[in-house]
Structure 1
Amino acid sequence: MERLVDKVVALVACLPALAATARGTVGAAVVVALLAAVTSASLVEVLRGSVRLVPPLLCCALVCVLPNSAALLGVAACDLCFVASLEGGRARLAPLAAPVALALGWCVGAEGSVVLLAVLGAVVGAWLGLRAGVFECRDRDALRTRDELRAAELSLAEKNRELLDAQDYEVRLATLSERARIARDIHDNVGHLLTRAVVQAEAYRVVHSGEPAEKDLAAVALTVREALDEVRASVHDLRDDACDLSVQVRAVVERACEGTELAPTVRVEAGEAPAAVASCLTAVAREAVSNVLRHSNARHVSVELVEHPGLWRLTVTDDGTTAAGAPGSGPGMGLASMEERVRALGGTFRVGSGEGGGWTVFASVPRSGGDRRRT
């Protein structure tokens, strides 16, 4: 709407020169000049890029044929200045066509009064065009700045989420590692001492068989045995709490690829899992990545673990041209071990070439597999 108003004002500024040209009568030259100005103004709004300079430049060239058409150069000057301020570069020279056309019109026979009034209209039109171009550039810059700020905001938000996820992962990994360490210490130290205490109590009971102390020693042995059972149950609970697939699989892959040129991508959409399932899938992921390092020339390995309503699915894919554990030389111990682990839980295990090349290891374990073996 603002551009339309500017064009109307530029046309009004040209009316005095147009009236001086007509001298009370509307000739064919006036009609042609008016139609050319209106057509040029319309095409400028339709076209895009520097091509928009062509219609107003043709209007300027029309002065060579119809000298009195210089009266409407104010509209062309408006469009030339507007497009030049937007396009920049060599397009900034385009507005010079308006004064050149005015000089040519005066030279080829345009009346002096018409030329002077046309200069006034051209100045008004040029000012309107420059003002509109400056406003348009400012609007574009504002929109570009807004988009850049929005993109930076989204990028920062994404990085913030990644940092928070990494922090949660490190905290969870440290917590689970500490639980596993405590479980090992209890099992190796306290469990050993309680086992020895049970053996000693039973030995003393046998030695003092038939004496009054036999019943007391039997009671002590029973109490220590119950304590040993409680310690074992606590150790198993700690180990079960440490079976977070997301943490364990990521840790296994990162440790395997650390210090190598193999770039891992890990995507885990799984949480807690039974100890047997977690141990199986973690071992498969570790062995599959190790096979890629030993037998493949891959530069990238992708590990994906997804928890579905009825199963856990693990996929390890690399981009190498040499198969990691290629079947040409027969199944190795690593592949056999992975398959045995998965089959023991009632799962499915497959290896073969990937769709885009490389090697793919696929393993799925049903939820019922977590109840088949308890550690």
Structure 2
Amino acid sequence: MRYFQNTGLLLIYCLFAVLYTDVNFIFIFCFLCALILGCSGFFVRSRNLRCLFSLLFLGAACLFPTFFCFFPIPVYILLREDLKPAAAAGILFYGYHFAFSPAADRLSLVFGIFAFLLTLLLQHHASSYETLSRQFHQTQDEGRENNLLLSEKNKTLLEKQDYEIYAATLKERNRIAREIHDNVGHILSRSILMVGAAKAVNQDTGLTPLLENIDHSLNSAMDSIRSSVHDLHDESVNLEEVIRSLIRDFSFCPAELEYDMGPEVPRDIKYCFISITREGLANIMKHSSASRVRVVVREHPALYQLFIKDNGDTAKLSSTIPDSGIGIKNMRERVGALGGTLQITTENGFKIFISVPKLQRRADL
């Protein structure tokens, strides 16, 4: 937009040449050429073509001196393209023509000098404006980038906070389960033993039904507490911490873990993945010649996945860990009970790939 403003202003100023030159066909032709050159300076994408058109316009003045009336247009384009030597040569050519041409008069020279001064001024302001515009857009881009980085960091902090809350909740559940087991469980156990002893030494037939009711109530309470403690303990198992613990304790060779699971993992999935990971790492220590192990635990929108891979000798592995082994059978039974699939391959190392679909019934587990 600023380019059209500047070239339009120069073109209007150049029309003042009607004061010192005749308006004829050549003048109109030169005006149209200057107009086309000004438009091409914006619409032509190639810098070389823009510069070539400007130089051709300057050269056409050798054949048609009327082109000198519109010299500020190509000079402005050359300055804009940072071809200052070519622009300076055009200005000197203009000055030489009006200084030594017998047809030139003082009025045209004065108008030409002011035209070039206006050209330099407009180019200077345009260059300053473009510099400020670039700095503004760069500042905007940096601001957007910083906002994206801050948003990502905030998201990471929130996820970390959610995980810490989840981990603290699991630890608290585990603590409560221990407290119930150690305190209430022992008290109930002692009460049951005392009631049993009272029943054994009781001689009064009238107290027998009462002691039976007390014994039944205490045993029912004990069963309920035992079930609650088991449920709390099962829910307090942190799958990521257990898997990482298994990886840390695996000293046979370097092992890496890629964990990408949500905080709420069904209980049966937890114990299935923990058991299979433990069995897979144990088999690697017993039978594999691997030097590196990779474990991937990942959650997808419709399924859970477990992937265990090593780089051991596949021929040795296939002979020492047959598909009919007890460990592999147990894995298949655990995965099959959850409706999942287990695949074992021996290409470029031994691989166990488990996929378990998310079932609606697990939402309540």
TM-score computed with the length of structure 1 as normaliser = 0.74
Residue of structure 2 aligned with 1:59, choices 46, 52, 57:
57
* Deviates further, 53-62 or 153-162: 53-62
Question: How much does 1:168 deviate?
Answer: 0.8
> CA 1:328–1:14 in 2, change beyond 3 Å: closer, same or farther?
farther
Question: How much does 1:283 deviate?
Answer: 3.5
* Deviates further, 356-365 or 46-55: 356-365
Superposed CA deviations along residues 59-99 of structure 1, whole A, max 9, x for unmatched, are: 33444554552221111233233343xxxxxx565543442
> CA 1:74–1:351 in 2, change beyond 3 Å: closer, same or farther?
same
Question: 2:184 aligned with 1:194, yes or no?
Answer: no
Residue of structure 1 aligned with 2:307, choices 316, 320, 335:
316
Counterpart of 1:124 in structure 2 is 118
Residue of structure 2 aligned with 1:341, choices 334, 338, 348:
334
Q: Secondary structure at 1:314's aligned position in 2?
A: strand
* Deviates further, 146-155 or 74-83: 74-83
Counting matched residue pairs gives 353
Counterpart of 1:34 in structure 2 is 31
Counterpart of 2:136 in structure 1 is 142
Distance in 2, matches of 1:182 and 1:240, equals: 12
Residue of structure 1 aligned with 2:261, choices 257, 268, 285:
268
Q: Secondary structure at 2:22's aligned position in 1?
A: coil
Q: Secondary structure at 1:303's aligned position in 2?
A: strand
> CA 1:55–1:368 in 2, change beyond 3 Å: closer, same or farther?
closer
Distance in 1, matches of 2:293 and 2:63, equals: 71
Distance in 2, matches of 1:38 and 1:164, equals: 60
> CA 1:214–1:148 in 2, change beyond 3 Å: closer, same or farther?
same
Question: 2:362 aligned with 1:364, yes or no?
Answer: no
Distance in 2, matches of 1:334 and 1:18, equals: 101
Question: 2:91 aligned with 1:99, yes or no?
Answer: yes
Counterpart of 1:15 in structure 2 is 15
Contact 1:63 1:104 in 2 (8 A): no
> CA 1:176–1:25 in 2, change beyond 3 Å: closer, same or farther?
closer
Counterpart of 2:6 in structure 1 is 6
Q: Give the partner amino acid of 1:34.
A: F
* Deviates further, 37-46 or 121-130: 121-130
Question: How much does 1:360 deviate?
Answer: 5.6
Contact 2:341 2:356 in 1 (8 A): yes
Counterpart of 1:78 in structure 2 is 76
Residue of structure 2 aligned with 1:111, choices 104, 116, 137:
104
Q: Secondary structure at 1:364's aligned position in 2?
A: strand
Aligned-residue CA RMSD (Å):
4.2
Superposed CA deviations along residues 112-143 of structure 1, whole A, max 9, x for unmatched, are: 63444322212212322332332233233322
Counterpart of 1:251 in structure 2 is 241
Counterpart of 2:154 in structure 1 is 160
Report the identity percentage.
24
Contact 1:74 1:123 in 2 (8 A): no
Distance in 2, matches of 1:81 and 1:123, equals: 13
Counterpart of 2:321 in structure 1 is 330
Question: 2:45 aligned with 1:45, yes or no?
Answer: no
Question: 2:173 aligned with 1:175, yes or no?
Answer: no
Q: Give the partner amino acid of 1:146.
A: Q
Q: Secondary structure at 1:271's aligned position in 2?
A: coil
> CA 1:341–1:83 in 2, change beyond 3 Å: closer, same or farther?
same
Q: Secondary structure at 2:304's aligned position in 1?
A: strand
Question: How much does 1:149 deviate?
Answer: 0.8
Superposed CA deviations along residues 287-332 of structure 1, whole A, max 9, x for unmatched, are: 6688899876668754312364xxx4324376x7658996464347
Question: How much does 1:44 deviate?
Answer: 0.9
Counterpart of 1:87 in structure 2 is none
Q: Which runs of 5+ in 1 are unaligned?
A: 85-90
Q: Which runs of 5+ in 2 are unaligned?
A: none
Distance in 1, matches of 2:339 and 2:99, equals: 99
Contact 1:75 1:122 in 2 (8 A): no
Distance in 1, matches of 2:12 and 2:349, equals: 71
TM-score computed with the length of structure 2 as normaliser = 0.76
> CA 1:235–1:2 in 2, change beyond 3 Å: closer, same or farther?
same
Contact 2:295 2:306 in 1 (8 A): no
Counterpart of 1:236 in structure 2 is 230
> CA 1:137–1:158 in 2, change beyond 3 Å: closer, same or farther?
same
Q: Secondary structure at 1:161's aligned position in 2?
A: helix
Q: Give the partner amino acid of 2:305.
A: L
Q: Secondary structure at 2:24's aligned position in 1?
A: coil
Distance in 2, matches of 1:261 and 1:66, equals: 83
> CA 1:133–1:368 in 2, change beyond 3 Å: closer, same or farther?
closer
> CA 1:302–1:146 in 2, change beyond 3 Å: closer, same or farther?
farther
> CA 1:54–1:337 in 2, change beyond 3 Å: closer, same or farther?
farther
Question: How much does 1:196 deviate?
Answer: 4.6
